[in-house]
Amino acid sequence: MIAITKTKCDQIRCIADHFGTSHVLRRAGEEFSEATTAIIHYTRAAVDFEGDLPTRKVELAGELADTLIMLEQLLHVVPDLQRLVTVQVAHKVNRTLKRYDIKVPAGGAGRDAAKEID
């Protein structure tokens, strides 16, 4: 997982406060849509060998960064979303683990350790 530092989160929240809720909501929709397109382009390059993979990977990284920033802004401008999203994440992860009978190793190991960005 990517962990954003408190300093960076504070900066992102200042940006959200500057632009306001309606702007954040509209912009989040745009950024999430652009990330979807970047995922499709990356998949075409990685799986179907259509396009330049390194370029598509950089584009995907940029769009995912935008979505992380917008998610943080959304959670800031709609305060009760944090709690609701946390509940939904737990529910959906547990449901998927159960549905596919996935066993989580002791210690909850994943592919990579958390990375913090500042």
Domain count, the chain: 1
Nearest one of 37, 55, 35 to 45, comparing CA atoms: 55
Q: Is the pLDDT of residue 109 over 90?
A: no
Helix ranges (H only) for 1-117 are 6-19, 21-46, 53-77, 81-99
Print the domain residue range for 72. 2-78
* pLDDT mean over 45-57: 97
85 occurs within a structural domain: no
41 occurs within a structural domain: yes
51 occurs within a structural domain: yes
59 occurs within a structural domain: yes
103 occurs within a structural domain: no
Ramachandran sector of residue 107 (left: φ over 0; alpha: ψ -120 to 50; beta: rest): left
The encoded tokens of residue 11 equal: 């900066």
* pLDDT mean over 81-90: 96
Q: What's the confidence (pLDDT) of residue 116?
A: 53
114 occurs within a structural domain: no
Separation of first and last alpha carbons in the chain:
14
Q: What's the confidence (pLDDT) of residue 106?
A: 86
pLDDT band at 56 (very low <50, low <70, confident <90, very high): very high
Nearest one of 20, 9, 118, 2 to 61, comparing CA atoms: 2
Mean pLDDT of the chain: 93
Q: Is the pLDDT of residue 37 over 70?
A: yes
Q: Is the pLDDT of residue 87 over 90?
A: yes
The radius of gyration computed from the CA coordinates of the chain, to the nearest angstrom, equals: 17
Q: What is the largest CA-CA distance in the chain?
A: 46
